[in-house]
């Protein structure tokens, strides 16, 4: 899975920068990509499980669904930002720590922008995943089967 | 084997008890011991009577709704048929089929009906006949318009009602009668039509040799409920309520000699309210006679159910009750002017609490809760995409806008709500329910304090859970199947969860 997530972020979304290999090797080797991938997959899954199977409000409308979709995206945004920041700035990799501590390496200036990028990518992915989860889960729901449509 | 209970409702009281029974049957009460079909028969010469018209309309609606439900198992579970349907095996619904037709009463005076003026006008035998008739009936009796009933004169009623046994309707009754069937008769003892009709009908059931299947009819268990005075009138004119008690005493004495001591009926229920303070508007009959529903009429419906529960005691041999006539009276546990479920005998509470509360919640929901859910809640949506077709509800906006829903279910429920309201306005008042709003819907049973959310939300949620079940989907021709079965189940669950049903 690490291979898959790494390829997705680095190649598909072009986050990789050859000048800062320590950051990406750290994310690859210390489980950072797995956590980021897990966030955009699992957070919306939990949200939609709650929506379809625990929320027993029988008057759910489309705007309820839309709000929930956006809230799940928002949560992914925040969680991803904190996770990516922690994975980079609190890294157990001494090489990356040294690089970040060296102002002349440019690592720190570049790394500061990365959590936002990962957060935005994950938010987009989570919205897509959430929509798909919604379509998959809704036929099994008793009360919110009619949402989003 | 299918068993039928023929219920003869005589006069205005008979109509009103049948109305109460219809409400209980709609709410899901059922007759015990295999009585799967109720055959109401109303005997009343007053064809324009408000009570009669209302009852016939309620019976019509009951049939129309039930016919649109596939194998009803809760609300409207009890089958109801007319003698006309049984005899002709037809499915036509006509409110007039619930009533035995009396010929020669429309617009007629009693004088004309008995042919008083045709007895001759000279001093001849006809003159003697007229004198003799004047000994039996007063001038006021002779001039009375019998198309509005007998105005508290059973000695007129016994003459006019005697004809119905020779009628086509009565012959058809005999034709449809089968072994295992039973008869229940409802009458009031203090009026005219009921007091006269009961002994006449009983006599013919036990011994009319011209009746088809007379052997079965003669040997059938017969129960009866006789109403003692339970209301008075606000004016004393042709009908004088001050004479009710005296008339009742005389009639009881007659019944005692000719019916009870002769064991002609298996069970005789006596219902009345001696210290009644219930005063109703004076009306001799016709459209004006439309009395509010009364708690004792509900007690009458309970008597019918009690009769069916005890058929094992109702053996008949040679037209007489083997165990003698069992005389029963109705009573409540607490003497109060405002009766609730808690004031009733435990058996009666068990019979009424569940069905009435469920149906009350059903009617209140359709009135106050549906607007919020319609087109929003999953159980009212028929356009849900990417799900199996069976998950789309049949109860969508088009159903609730349909003619069938509005002219049948909604109309019947309006009668039910009116009946509950009238029971509460009478004396003694039967007030088992509180007035509720959409937010306090589950606070409907008086004397209870349910906790948690009391709105219709739980009911809508339960409807969503149940709506896709196969057993709730009837054929396309039976449009009310889903609604009736769905609410039968969802109201049961919601009320049970809140412990609002006394079992």
Pairing outcome for strands B267-271 and B279-280: unpaired
**More confident: B118 or B307:** B307
Q: Do B235 and B124 fall within a single domain?
A: no
Q: Do B63 and B179 fall within a single domain?
A: yes
Q: Do B421 and B280 fall within a single domain?
A: no
The answer as to whether B358 is a domain residue is yes
pLDDT in tens, B433-450: 999 999 999 999 999 999
Residue B99 to residue B173: CA distance in whole angstroms? 12
Task: Inform me whether the pLDDT recorded for B316 exceeds 70.
Answer: yes
The answer as to whether A61 is a domain residue is yes
Q: How far is B453 from chain A (nearest CA, A)?
A: 12
- Over pLDDT 90: what percentage of chain B? 62
Residue A134 forms contact with B (CB below 8 Å): no
Q: Do B120 and B13 fall within a single domain?
A: no
For chain B, give the mean pLDDT. 89
Inter-chain touch B457–A58, beta carbons under 8 Å: yes
Residue position matching structure tokens 């007489």: B320
Return the pLDDT at B238. 62
Task: Kindly provide the residue ranges of all beta strands, DSSP E only, lying in B181-287, ordered along the sequence.
Answer: 182-188, 222-227, 232-233, 267-271, 279-280
Inter-chain touch A144–B463, beta carbons under 8 Å: no
Report pTM: 0.90
Between B376, B387, B460, which is nearest A145 by CB? Answer: B387
Give the pLDDT mean for B371-389: 95
Task: Inform me whether the pLDDT recorded for A91 exceeds 70.
Answer: yes
Task: Inform me whether the pLDDT recorded for B126 exceeds 70.
Answer: no
- Over pLDDT 70: what percentage of chain B? 92
The interface pTM score, or ipTM, of the predicted complex is: 0.88
Mutation choice for B interface testing from A64, A146, A148 by most B CBs within 10 A = A146
Q: What is the CA radius of gyration of chain B?
A: 24
What total of structural domains would you count in chain B?
3
Q: Do B278 and B419 fall within a single domain?
A: no
Q: Do B84 and B156 fall within a single domain?
A: yes
The domain in which residue B140 lies consists of 109-144
The domain in which residue A7 lies consists of 2-140
Task: Inform me whether the pLDDT recorded for B244 exceeds 70.
Answer: yes
The answer as to whether B466 is a domain residue is yes
Return the pLDDT at B237. 64
Q: Could you give the angle at the alpha carbon of B38 between the alpha carbons of B37 and B40, nearest 5°? A: 150
pLDDT in tens, B414-437: 999 999 999 999 888 999 999 999
The answer as to whether B342 is a domain residue is no
Task: Inform me whether the pLDDT recorded for B491 exceeds 90.
Answer: yes
Nearest to A44 by CA among A77, A20, A15: A77
What would the DSSP string read from start to end of B224-242? EEEEPP--EESS-SSS-GG
Return the pLDDT at B46. 76
Q: Do B315 and B429 fall within a single domain?
A: no
Top-confidence range, B64-78, B109-123, B139-153, B249-263: B64-78
3-state secondary structure of A56: coil
Q: Do B444 and B485 fall within a single domain?
A: yes
Mean pLDDT lowest for which of A61-75, A110-124, B267-281, B319-333?
B267-281
Mean pLDDT lowest for which of A68-72, A96-100, B145-149, B313-317?
B145-149
What total of structural domains would you count in chain A?
1
> Both tokens of residue B343?
């004031």
Return the pLDDT at B123. 60
Return the pLDDT at B278. 67
Return the pLDDT at B89. 72
Inter-chain touch A143–B372, beta carbons under 8 Å: no
Return the pLDDT at B236. 60
B455: chain A residues, CB-CB within 8 Å: none
Return the pLDDT at B220. 96
Residue B272 sits in a domain of what CATH number? 3.40.50.1440
Give the pLDDT mean for B369-377: 97
Inter-chain touch B460–A58, beta carbons under 8 Å: yes
Task: Inform me whether the pLDDT recorded for B235 exceeds 80.
Answer: no
Which residues have C-beta within 8 Å of that of residue B143, sequence separation ≥ 6? B109, B110, B111
Q: Do B403 and B359 fall within a single domain?
A: yes
Return the pLDDT at B360. 98
Residue B128 to residue B122: CA distance in whole angstroms? 10
Q: Do B426 and B415 fall within a single domain?
A: yes
Task: Inform me whether the pLDDT recorded for B30 exceeds 60.
Answer: yes
Q: How far is A97 from chain B (nearest CA, A)?
A: 51
Task: Inform me whether the pLDDT recorded for B131 exceeds 90.
Answer: no
Residue A63 forms contact with B (CB below 8 Å): no
Task: Inform me whether the pLDDT recorded for A126 exceeds 90.
Answer: yes
Inter-chain touch A143–B384, beta carbons under 8 Å: no
Residue position matching structure tokens 């009570």: B51
Top-confidence range, B78-82, B159-163, B311-315: B78-82
């Amino acid at each position: 899975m690490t291979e898959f997530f790494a390829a997705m972020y680095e190649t598909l979304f072009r986050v990789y920068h050859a000048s800062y290999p320590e950051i990406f090797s750290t994310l690859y080797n210390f489980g950072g990509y797995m956590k980021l991938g897990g966030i955009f997959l699992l957070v919306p899954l939990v949200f939609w499980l709650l929506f379809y199977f625990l929320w027993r409000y029988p008057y759910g409308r489309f705007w309820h669904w839309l709000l929930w979709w956006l809230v799940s995206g928002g949560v992914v945004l925040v969680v991803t930002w904190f996770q990516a920041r922690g994975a980079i700035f609190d890294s157990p990799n001494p090489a990356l720590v040294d690089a970040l501590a060296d102002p002349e390496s440019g690592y720190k200036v570049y790394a500061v922008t990365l959590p936002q990028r990962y957060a935005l990518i994950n938010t987009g992915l989570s919205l897509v995943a959430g929509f798909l989860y919604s379509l998959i889960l809704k036929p099994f729901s008793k009360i919110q089967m009619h949402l989003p449509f | 084997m299918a068993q039928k209970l023929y219920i003869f409702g005589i006069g205005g009281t008979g109509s009103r008890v049948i109305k109460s029974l219809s409400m209980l049957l709609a709410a899901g009460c059922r007759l015990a011991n295999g009585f799967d079909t109720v055959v109401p028969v109303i005997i009343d010469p007053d064809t324009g009577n408000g009570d009669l018209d209302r009852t016939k309309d309620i019976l019509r609606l009951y049939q129309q709704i039930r016919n649109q439900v596939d194998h009803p198992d809760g609300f409207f579970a009890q089958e109801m048929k007319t003698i006309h349907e049984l005899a002709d095996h037809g499915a036509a619904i006509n409110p007039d089929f619930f009533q035995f037709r009396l010929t020669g009463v429309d617009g007629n005076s009693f004088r004309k009906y008995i042919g008083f003026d045709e007895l001759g006008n000279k001093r001849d035998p006809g003159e003697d006949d007229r004198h003799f008739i004047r000994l039996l009936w007063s001038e006021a009796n002779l001039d009375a318009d019998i198309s509005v009933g007998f105005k508290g004169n059973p000695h007129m009623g016994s003459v006019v009602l005697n004809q119905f046994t020779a009628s086509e309707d009565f012959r058809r009754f005999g034709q449809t009668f089968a072994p295992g069937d039973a008869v229940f008769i409802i009458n009031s003892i203090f009026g005219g039509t009921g007091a006269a009709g009961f002994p006449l009908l009983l006599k013919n059931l036990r011994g009319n040799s011209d009746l088809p299947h007379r052997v079965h009819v003669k040997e059938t268990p017969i129960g009866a409920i006789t109403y003692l005075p339970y209301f008075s009138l606000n004016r004393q004119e042709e009908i004088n309520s001050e004479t009710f008690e005296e008339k009742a005493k005389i009639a009881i004495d007659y019944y005692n000699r000719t019916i009870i001591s002769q064991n002609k009926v298996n069970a005789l229920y006596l219902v009345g309210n001696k210290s009644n303070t219930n005063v109703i508007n004076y009306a001799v009959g016709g459209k004006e006679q439309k009395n509010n529903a009364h708690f004792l009429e509900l007690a009458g419906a309970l008597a019918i159910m009690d009769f069916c529960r005890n058929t094992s005691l109702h053996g008949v041999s040679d037209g007489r009750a083997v165990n003698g006539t069992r005389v029963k009276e109705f009573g409540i546990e607490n003497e109060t002017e405002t009766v609730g479920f808690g004031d009733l005998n435990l058996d009666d509470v068990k019979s009424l609490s569940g069905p009435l509360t469920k149906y009350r919640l059903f009617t209140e929901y359709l009135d106050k809760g549906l607007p919020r859910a319609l087109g929003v809640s999953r159980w009212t949506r028929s356009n849900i995409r990417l799900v199996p077709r069976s998950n789309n509800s049949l109860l969508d906006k088009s159903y609730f806008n349909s003619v069938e829903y509005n002219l049948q279910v909604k109309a019947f429920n309006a009668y039910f709500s009116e009946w509950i309201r009238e029971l509460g306005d009478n004396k003694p008042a039967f007030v088992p329910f509180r007035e509720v709003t959409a937010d306090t819907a589950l606070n409907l049973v008086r004397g209870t304090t349910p906790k948690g959310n009391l709105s219709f939300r739980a009911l809508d949620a339960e409807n969503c859970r149940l709506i896709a079940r196969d057993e709730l989907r009837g054929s396309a021709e039976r449009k009310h199947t889903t609604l009736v079965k769905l609410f039968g189940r969802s109201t049961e669950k919601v009320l049970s969860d809140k412990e609002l049903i006394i079992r």
